[in-house]
């Protein structure tokens, strides 16, 4: 029997996807890593740092409880305005019980499941990932849970990183099919994609002699300069032409927990998509330029890779009135799943 707390298995950062046979690839999501323990109708959600997340995500706990006695590893996510909203996850943890219920109604969370550690009281951690995945695919997921897509084809895995940049997929995690679940061990591999875009430094915060942040702008379709983000605070003045990392918030929009992972992963990759990074404007950040001092230099901002493809997707079930359609205007069957070799 697997009881909390346990240290989850983690991934080591790499600069390219592993080569050769025996690897399975999964999208990396922008959410909270969590291990869900369900037994006798009671659920405990544990973070990677062994923190109790249950009170902040009662919707996820209720969904996991419907699976019976299980221990699942996955990612808690919130979908808002057409992409993953990490700030909404943080807001859940900062809120009291009464406000959390309001947030659940406004922006429901979902649990993207990628591993099965125990089932019906039996510990499965010593079994190879291939067998754990096979058992995971046989479960019937209720509303609010989704089985993450997985593939053994590196080309499909690369397409998840290169299709679009607005959904919030951060990269790809690679796992050995013959590997047991090793608690607290950094034995998986994760590859992040970085997407670059040119931006104009339209202003600064702080004094002109010692600027604290750079305000970055991008021209819209009408040629007007719009705020795209700002750099992280610095105690030293940045040099002209230096690279700064920009941060952005999701564009406000309808809050919908997608029914399919196809909606999470975005539209198919264009045939002409690049193979490493693509130039695309960063998502607009809702902010103002109060206190900004005009200047005229330019800089190149970078954002973590968030581009993905719909290929090899699995369903995310959610209420009918909260289901955004895919690019083709249709949604997938609720009963379908992905195979590790698909």
Angstrom distance (rounded) from CA 95 to CA 100: 6
Enumerate the β-bridge partners of residue 171: 28, 192
- Residue 321: which region, alpha, beta or left (left: phi > 0; alpha: psi -120 to 50)? alpha
Residue 221: is its pLDDT beyond 60? yes
Cα separation of 92 and 102, whole Å?
Answer: 10
pLDDT at 262: 52
More confident residue, 290 or 154: 154
- Residue 249 annotated in active site: no
From 28, 131, 138, 190, active-site residue: 28
Average pLDDT, the chain: 74
Beta-carbon-side half-sphere exposure of residue 256 (alpha carbons within 13 Å): 19
Provide the phi-psi class of 171: left if phi over 0, else alpha when psi is between -120 and 50, else beta.
Answer: left
Rounded alpha-carbon distances, angstroms, from residue 317 to 35, 89, 181, 245, 256: 20, 19, 27, 35, 11
- Work out the angle at residue 318's Cα, subtended by the Cα atoms of residues 313 and 323, and round it to the nearest 5 degrees: 80
- 318 vs 146: CA distance, rounded Å: 10
Any bridge partners for residue 13, and if so which? 190
Rounded to 5°, angle at Cα 69 from 64 and 71 = 65
Least confident of 139-143, 166-170, 190-194, 329-333: 329-333
Query: Residue 315 is encoded by which pair of tokens?
Result: 């369903």
Q: Residue 273, Cβ neighbours under 10 Å: how many?
A: 16
The percent of residues above 90 in pLDDT, for the chain, comes to 39
More confident of the two residues 69 and 256:
69
Q: How confident is the model at residue 241 (pLDDT cuts 50, 70, 90)?
A: low
Predicted confidence band of residue 299 (pLDDT cuts 50, 70, 90): very low
Local structure of residue 231 (DSSP, 8 states): E
């Amino acid at each position: 029997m697997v009881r909390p707390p346990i240290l989850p298995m983690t991934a080591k950062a790499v600069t390219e996807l592993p080569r050769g046979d025996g690897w399975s690839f999964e999208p990396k999501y922008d959410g909270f890593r969590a291990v869900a323990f369900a037994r006798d109708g009671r659920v405990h959600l544990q973070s990677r740092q062994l923190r109790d997340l249950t009170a902040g995500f009662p919707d996820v706990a209720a969904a996991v409880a419907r699976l019976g006695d299980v221990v699942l590893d996955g990612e808690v996510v919130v979908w808002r305005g057409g992409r993953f909203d990490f700030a909404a996850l943080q807001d859940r943890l900062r809120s009291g019980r009464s406000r959390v219920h309001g947030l659940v109604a406004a922006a429901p969370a979902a649990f993207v499941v990628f591993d099965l550690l125990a089932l019906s009281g039996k510990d499965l951690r010593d079994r190879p990932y291939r067998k754990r995945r096979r058992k995971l695919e046989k479960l019937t997921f209720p509303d609010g849970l989704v089985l993450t897509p997985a593939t053994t084809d590196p080309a499909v895995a690369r397409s998840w990183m290169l299709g679009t940049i607005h959904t919030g997929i951060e990269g790809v995690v690679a796992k050995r099919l013959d590997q047991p679940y090793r608690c607290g061990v950094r034995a998986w591999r994760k590859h992040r994609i970085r997407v670059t875009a040119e931006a104009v430094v339209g202003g600064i915060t702080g004094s002109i002699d010692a600027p604290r942040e750079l305000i970055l702008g991008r021209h819209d379709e009408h040629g007007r300069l719009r705020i795209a983000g700002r750099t992280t605070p610095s105690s030293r003045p940045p040099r002209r032409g230096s690279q700064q990392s920009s941060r952005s918030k999701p564009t406000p929009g309808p809050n919908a927990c997608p029914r399919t992972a196809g909606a999470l992963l975005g539209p198919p990759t264009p045939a002409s998509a690049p193979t490493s990074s693509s130039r695309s404007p960063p998502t607009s950040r809702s902010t103002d330029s109060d206190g900004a001092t005009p200047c005229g230099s330019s800089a190149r901002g970078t954002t973590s890779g968030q581009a993905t493809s719909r290929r090899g997707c699995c369903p995310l079930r959610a209420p009918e009135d909260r289901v955004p359609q895919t690019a083709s205007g249709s949604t997938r069957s609720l009963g379908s799943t992905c195979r590790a070799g698909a």
